[in-house]
Amino acid sequence: MSTNPPQQQDQLLSNADDTNQQVNSETIKIVTQLIIPQITNNPQENTFFNGTEFHDKNDIESLILPAGWSGSTFP
């Protein structure tokens, strides 16, 4: 195994970081542009893959959110 001089090692690490940032930013951009909902078999999978709908419903999920609060207001 060969060792690189510190200057060369710093340059290699810098190049690797630049490449990772470019690849990761492109991947994140693609993921954020997904608009097709994922088809799932149960509500938990649907929430995981497609996100939560913040509507006033009478289920436990909505009751813990401020928009779903149906009890008395806080003093």
DSSP single-letter state for residue 33: T
Domain holding 57, by residue range, is 38-75
- Residue 2's φ and ψ, nearest 5 degrees, are -95, 155
Residue 9 to residue 39: CA distance in whole angstroms: 47
How many domains does the structure of the chain reveal? 2
Task: Answer yes or no: do 42 and 72 share one domain.
Answer: yes
Going 52 to 54 to 59 to 61, the CA torsion angle's sign is positive
Task: Answer yes or no: do 16 and 44 share one domain.
Answer: no
How many CB atoms neighbour CB 47 within 10 A?
13
Task: Answer yes or no: do 52 and 65 share one domain.
Answer: yes
Report mean pLDDT in 10-residue bins for the chain, 75 residues: 75 87 81 81 87 66 57 54
User: What is residue 68's predicted lDDT score, i.e. its pLDDT?
Assistant: 46
Q: What is the pTM of this model?
A: 0.33
Task: Answer yes or no: do 25 and 11 share one domain.
Answer: yes
